[in-house]
Amino acid sequence: MANHPDPAILYPDITARGSLGAALRAVAEEGGFSLPVTASDSSPLIHATVASTLPHREALLVSSWAIKQRWSIRGEESFQNMALIDGDTEDLAQVARAAQTWHDGVALGDIRKAAPFVHLTGRFEVPDHDPERLTESEWQHLRTEARELERPGDAYHALVEAAYAEPALRSLYPFTSHWTLRFSTTTRPYLTIFEPCLLAHDVGRYSVSMKFTGADALAQTTTPQEAVVAAVRHLPYRPGPVMSGAVHADSR
């Protein structure tokens, strides 16, 4: 196990104030605003949360890094607990500004304008938890993630875009397991897996399988479009609209 510096030594200013929460409040006051911060009981130097005035947002989690003086944030929506924003910075004042806008219910894009270190995951807010909108939001996240990871000729990004272009797959709720593109007929929090799944092994090598590991492949193709066509051909049936994962759980 790696030996990390003692947080009390790595963060002397925060230690002097007693907690990360207290330090954030002090930085906010210096910036001319107040911040409702809750420090962690178990790790006061490492974690703090800032609640939001919007009921569909969870409290923003602020965490201190263990290896150097830097802070991370993560802001989730409350239904699926998936990240809407994240990011990291060495500027605690920027963290406080991001936390203030999250608390105040500022639109996601405007949070980034107020604190440029903030990263938008691609998901958008769905206050009424509509399953079709949640599905659209998750597709937007996967496309954003794949684009940000893209290397020249990236096979995974090409596969995500090809799947999104196919209505039969775009109507399903997407998720990944070990970078395998999979589908569900319900949203989170309780997925109902709907096979087959798609794998991008490398540029010019794609497969369709009933297993996320790629074992027992149903088809091997050289283009993502061919893989998508094969996947649609192997769909056991054409499902109806995506349902809520919470409803699915209640009916068990």
Q: Is residue 126 part of a domain?
A: no
Based on the fold, state whether residues 244 and 135 are members of the same structural domain: yes
Based on the fold, state whether residues 92 and 203 are members of the same structural domain: no
Q: Is residue 38 part of a domain?
A: yes
Based on the fold, state whether residues 135 and 244 are members of the same structural domain: yes
Q: What is the spatial distance between Cα 155 and Cα 178, in angstroms, rounded to a whole number?
A: 14
Based on the fold, state whether residues 154 and 197 are members of the same structural domain: yes
Q: Is residue 164 part of a domain?
A: yes
What is the Cα 148 distance to its own chain's centre? 13
Based on the fold, state whether residues 233 and 197 are members of the same structural domain: yes
Q: Which domain holds residue 205?
A: 131-250
Domain count, the chain: 2
| Contact in structure between 20 and 64 (CB atoms under 8 Å) | yes
pLDDT value for 250: 47
The dihedral through the CA atoms of 130, 131, 136, 141 has a sign that is: positive
pLDDT value for 227: 97
pLDDT value for 214: 75
Read off the tokens for 99.
Answer: 């936390």
Last residue of a domain, one of 65, 88, 120: 120
pLDDT value for 41: 95
Q: Is residue 104 part of a domain?
A: yes
- pLDDT tens digits in sequence order for the chain, 252 residues long: 467 889 999 999 999 999 999 999 999 999 999 999 999 999 999 999 999 999 999 999 999 999 999 999 999 999 999 999 999 999 999 999 999 999 999 999 999 999 999 999 999 999 999 999 999 999 999 999 999 987 656 899 999 999 999 999 999 999 998 889 999 999 999 999 999 999 998 888 999 999 888 778 999 999 999 999 999 999 999 999 999 999 754 444
pLDDT value for 252: 44
> How would DSSP label each residue in 48-68?
EEE--SSTTBPPEEEEE-SSS
The b-or-e profile of 75-109 (16+ CB within 10 A means b, else e) is bbbebbebbbbbbebeebebbbbbbbbbbeebebe
pLDDT value for 152: 56
Measured between alpha carbons, how far is residue 199 from residues 158, 204, 251 in Å?
11, 12, 32
Based on the fold, state whether residues 24 and 104 are members of the same structural domain: yes
Last residue of a domain, one of 66, 85, 120: 120
Based on the fold, state whether residues 86 and 147 are members of the same structural domain: no
pLDDT value for 204: 85
Q: Is residue 125 part of a domain?
A: no
Based on the fold, state whether residues 67 and 154 are members of the same structural domain: no
Q: Is residue 2 part of a domain?
A: no
Based on the fold, state whether residues 56 and 157 are members of the same structural domain: no
Q: Is residue 111 part of a domain?
A: yes
What is the Cα 131 distance to its own chain's centre? 17
Based on the fold, state whether residues 102 and 143 are members of the same structural domain: no
Based on the fold, state whether residues 97 and 172 are members of the same structural domain: no
Q: Is residue 11 part of a domain?
A: yes
Last residue of a domain, one of 120, 141, 162: 120
Based on the fold, state whether residues 138 and 246 are members of the same structural domain: yes
